[in-house]
């Protein structure tokens, strides 16, 4: 394991220890994905972790080091299809989804299915086994927001038939499904709306990669850095340990039942500035090239995290420069 991941995981395990008594059984759907695998690593020292993943976008390599750990089991499960388990879980963290815009736009039906039927299947399991469940939602439920920074009370501005709707509307249904199970059956559901997160293990392959990993791989290979549109569109990038720490607090905290929390770093940056920062940190000779704007691309994205600050006693700790340095170091080691 890369020393940066090892060190970051050790710190997250301390957060888990502060919040979890130990010995619980936890299901993580999408556990072989980027965020899911960080959660597996963070929780496995204190709990029995079942990782369910259909490996559509998750990678076996993200959890292969946990093979043989008596607290860990991997199962190939597509949560959107019919699946049965007699096992009961104390906690369920439901992350299964295709998160990358290029990828989910190529698989819109599966993308909708996992957030809608998949979420219902997982909620049924939570109801049967009386487990608490955390749903990994997204800043995309806000669409192209009219209010920046965006609070949880904002209802969103989503194109229901647009290219992103399979993801945005799917996650909105997933949230509605959580609230329905909470209201009708009393299930302890919690929702986190995750804003752009980056860090070691984030996928970078081809057009499926997100802006941060694509720019890093382009910059360290001296290739043109591809900015879509004029690069004035903004995002707020949160380092993985900050996002995972918020998820742990949201699912284990005493005050999260039936609640929704924005999780992200409130520092808003333009995509052009992000490209320049990555070129600077990697000391790359890459040039920036401007390509066609991505269709339906939200123009600004920045979370209001007052609620997570006050209720979960959480705020991000890793700044963009530091987080990028760690991520770049990991990408360099991966390409060797």
**Active-site amino acid positions:** 167
Distance from C-alpha of 126 to C-alpha of 133, rounded to nearest angstrom: 7
CA distances from 26 to 37, 166, 248 (A): 13, 28, 12
Q: CB of residue 4 vs ligand UDP: minimum separation in angstroms? A: 21
Closer residue to ligand UDP, CB minimum distance, 90 or 296: 296
Minimum CB–partner distance for residue 91 and ligand UDP (Å): 27
Nearest approach in angstroms of CB 234 to ligand UDP is: 8
Q: Which tokens in the block code for residue 41? A: 């690593």
Which of residues 134 and 227 has its CB atom nearest to ligand UDP in the complex?
227
Q: Which is nearer to ligand UDP, 249 or 326 (CB)?
A: 326
Nearest-approach distance from CB 228 to ligand UDP, in angstroms:
4
Is 92 or 204 the residue whose CB approaches ligand UDP more closely? Answer: 204
- Residue number with the shortest CB distance to ligand UDP? 210
Which secondary-structure segment (H or E) carries 52?
strand 48-53
Q: Respond yes or no on whether the N-terminal peptide bond of residue 259 is cis (omega within 30° of 0).
A: no
Q: Which residue has the tokens 């130990």?
A: 22
Distance CA 217, CA 225 (A): 9
The count of other CB atoms within 10 Å of the CB of residue 164 is 23
Pick the closer one to ligand UDP by CB: 112 or 187. 112
Query: To 10 degrees, what angle do helices 240-252 and 34-43 make?
Result: 60
Sites of contact with ligand UDP (CB under 6 A): 101, 196, 210-211, 214, 226-228, 233, 235, 271, 294, 297
Report the candidate in 173, 243, 171, 239 with the shortest Cα–Cα distance to residue 200.
239
Alpha-carbon distance of 228 to 209, in angstroms, equals: 13
Minimum gap (Å) between residue 56 Cβ and ligand UDP:
17
């Amino acid at each position: 394991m890369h020393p940066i991941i090892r060190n970051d995981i050790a710190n997250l395990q301390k957060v888990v220890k502060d919040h979890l008594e130990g010995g619980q059984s936890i299901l993580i759907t999408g556990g072989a994905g980027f965020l899911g695998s960080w959660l597996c690593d963070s929780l496995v020292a204190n709990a029995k972790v079942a990782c369910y993943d259909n490996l559509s976008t998750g990678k076996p390599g993200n959890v292969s080091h946990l093979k043989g750990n008596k607290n860990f089991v991997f199962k190939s499960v597509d949560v959107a299809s019919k699946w049965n388990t007699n096992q009961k879980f104390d906690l369920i963290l439901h992350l299964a989804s295709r998160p990358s815009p290029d990828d989910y736009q190529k698989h819109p039906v599966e993308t909708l299915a996992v957030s809608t039927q998949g979420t219902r299947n997982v909620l049924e399991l939570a109801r049967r086994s009386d487990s608490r469940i955390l749903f990994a939602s997204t800043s995309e439920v806000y669409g192209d927001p009219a209010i920046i920074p965006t609070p949880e009370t904002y209802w969103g501005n989503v194109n229901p038939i647009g290219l992103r709707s399979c993801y945005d509307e799917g996650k909105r249904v997933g949230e509605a499904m959580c609230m329905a199970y909470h209201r009708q059956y009393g299930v302890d559901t919690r929702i986190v709306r995750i804003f752009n997160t980056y860090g070691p293990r984030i996928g970078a392959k081809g057009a499926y990669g997100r802006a941060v990993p694509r720019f890093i791989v382009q910059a360290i290979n001296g290739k043109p850095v591809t900015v879509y549109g004029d690069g004035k569109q903004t995002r707020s990038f949160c380092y993985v340990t900050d996002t995972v720490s918020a998820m742990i607090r949201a699912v284990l905290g005493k005050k999260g039942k039936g609640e929704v929390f924005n999780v992200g770093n409130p520092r808003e940056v333009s995509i052009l500035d992000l490209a320049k920062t990555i070129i600077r940190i990697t000391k790359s000779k890459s040039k920036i090239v401007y390509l066609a704007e991505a269709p339906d691309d939200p123009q600004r994205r920045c979370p209001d995290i007052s609620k997570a600050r006050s209720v979960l006693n959480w705020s991000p700790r890793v700044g963009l420069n530091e987080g990028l340095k760690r991520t770049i170091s990991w990408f360099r080691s991966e390409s060797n």
